[in-house]
Each structure stands twice: as structure tokens, then as C-alpha cells.
Amino acid sequence: MMRNLEIERVVLAAMGVGIARRSLEAMNAYATDRRAFGASLRDFGQIQRHIAESYSEYMAGKTYLYQTALGLDLDAAGNRLDTDGVKLYCTTMGKNVADRAIQVMGGYGYMGEYAVERLWRDAKLLEIGGGTLESHHKNMVRDMSQLDAMP
């Protein structure tokens, strides 16, 4: 049973990374194409911050996901610290990147005809599925109390 939960959490983390990637692509394209005050949106500092932070968090989550998936023993349980951690980080990161995409796109990001509105709703659901964020906090702290040193 625990092994299946660990696998599910890695899958949910991968979905969060995918949502972040798609949101980042939409945000980047919109900021490049959209003009305001005679300049591309991507020339404004706050927009640059949203795009740069989203890219950095996306790459960190992707790396953590790949590392966890590579080290996952599919035949046994016992990977809970990192499977909880990667699900905790990547699902929240996916929602945050989708939220920034909505912010960059303004009213268009909130409209159902644009993908980021759906991506944000899907990302929010990922934070609940496979165990709430709070349950992952509890599990991780419990597992970390038994470590002799940080990995």
C-alpha cells in the first residue's frame, strides 16, 4: 500500500511539473507578443520577475522530480521522505507558476478560453490529491527525525 502511495505522489509531482512548464510557455509567449506603452510586456521589471522566478522554480522542481524518480525502488516501500517532498514542492510550484501566468496575462489569464485558467484549477487539485500538503509536512518531519545526517 505505501509503495503505491509513493508512486502516486511521484506521478502527481510530475503533473505539477507539466503544469508549470505549460504555464511558463504560455506566460513567456504572451509577454513576448503583448505590448503596452510602446514596449513588450517582457521589458517590464515585474513581468521579468514573474517569468524568471517561474523558470527557476520549474527547473528546481524538474530536477528534484527526476532525482526522486530515478532513486525510487518500485518493488518496496521506504521512499516516503522524498516522494512526499517532491509532491509537496512540485504541486505547490505548479500552482504558483500557473498563478503567475494568470497575473502576467491579466484578464485573459482568467478567461476559460486560455489554458492557464484550467491549469491553475488542475494544479490546485494536485495539492489535495495523494495526501494533503499538511499530511506531507507531518510525514516528512517524522521521517527526518530518524535521519543521522541530511542526504
8 is catalytic: yes
List the catalytic residue out of 8, 25, 117, 127. 8
Question: Nearest Cα to 71, choosing from 88, 86, 58?
Answer: 86
Enumerate the active-site residues. Answer: 8
